[in-house]
Amino acid sequence: MLRSCTAGLRSIWALRGRREGAPRLSTDLQPARRLFSTEKVIHKDWALPNPSWSKDLKLLFDQFMKKCEDGSWERLPSYKRRSTQESEDFTTYFLDPKLGEEERLSQAQLFTRGFEDGLGFEYVIFKNNDEKRTVCLFQGGPYLQGVPGLLHGGAMATMIDIALGSCTGGAVMTANLNINFKRPVPLCSVVVINSQLDKLEGRKLFLSCNVRSVDEKTLYSEATGLFIKVDPEKRST
């Protein structure tokens, strides 16, 4: 497993610097130019195959894209930044304009999308709106190592949070996340996170998920989450 991971790394590094959308920023660039270059990266949809994707990930991706053809499933695009509307929902709730937060956050981006192709979080989420569930296909790269050769539990928790959050829609915050790690996940392997909305109670959304191997034989983790819809009348700061 580690050997194939090393081979994967070699091809990943060979690709560095020439993949589409890779930021090629140098410190001598003027701020305006720097912002312009970054824009291209921000608007790229990262939930699409790239050369670092394993055979397993590509195969599952193709299977789910087929399911999208009749409209029962949809692939969720993934950007480094949230849409303007989504950002506004959170900004008005959490940020104090007096503190100059807007300027500080101009470079902010979703940290799961901050790695070079294949080194960190490679994932795509498919949603079935009628069944209120999502399937997240996740390949955790070599920079997400915890115990040697294994995926860090925090990286798994991050993906679980995102997978559960993808079942909610709208502006929500994670209030509680409870994870049982049952088996360690091999680094660079592909796992499938099946998430569902179990109950909606006012602003509270109760969700659950399981994380399995591609052949479904190994149950890696089970988790539940409580997400709260942000109350526009409230400010948290």
Ligand X SMILES: CCCCCCCCCC(=O)SCCNC(=O)CCNC(=O)[C@H](O)C(C)(C)COP(=O)(O)OP(=O)(O)OC[C@H]1O[C@@H](n2cnc3c(N)ncnc32)[C@H](O)[C@@H]1OP(=O)(O)O
Residues marked active site are found at: 161
Residue with tokens 């679980």: 160
Residues 56-85, interacting with ligand X (CB under 6 A): 76
Between 37 and 87, CB nearer to ligand X: 87
Between 57 and 160, CB nearer to ligand X: 160
Residues 173-212, interacting with ligand X (CB under 6 A): 173-176, 202-204
62, 145, 180, 188, 215 from 55: Cα distances, Å: 11, 21, 28, 12, 13
Terminal-to-terminal C-alpha distance of the chain? 47
Two tokens, residue 55? 């055979």
**Contact pick of 52, 166, 189, 208 for ligand X (by CB under 6 A):** 166
For the CB of residue 158, give the shortest distance to ligand X in the complex, in Å.
8
Between 93 and 181, CB nearer to ligand X: 93
Helix (H, G, I), strand (E, B) or coil at 123: strand
For the CB of residue 122, give the shortest distance to ligand X in the complex, in Å.
15
Between 12 and 125, CB nearer to ligand X: 125
- Report the C-alpha gap between 137 and 195 in whole angstroms: 11
Q: Which residue is nearest to ligand X (CB)?
A: 165
For the CB of residue 15, give the shortest distance to ligand X in the complex, in Å.
25
- Confirm if 159 and 146 have CB atoms less than 8 A apart: no
Taking the CB of residue 89, how many other CB atoms lie within 10 A of it?
18
**Contact pick of 83, 84, 236, 237 for ligand X (by CB under 6 A):** 236
- Sequence-ordered alpha helix ranges (H) in 114-185: 153-165
For the CB of residue 112, give the shortest distance to ligand X in the complex, in Å.
9
- Which among 225, 236, 38, 54 is positioned nearest to 137, based on CA atoms? 54
Interface with ligand X includes 37 (CB under 6 A)? Answer: no
Choices 9-17, 41-49, 52-60, 157-165 (CB under 6 A): range interacting with ligand X: 157-165
Determine whether 136 is exposed, middle or buried from the number of CB atoms within 10 Å of its CB (0-12, 13-18, 19+): buried
Positions that interact with ligand X (CB under 6 A): 76, 125, 161-162, 165-166, 173-176, 202-204, 226, 228, 231, 234, 236
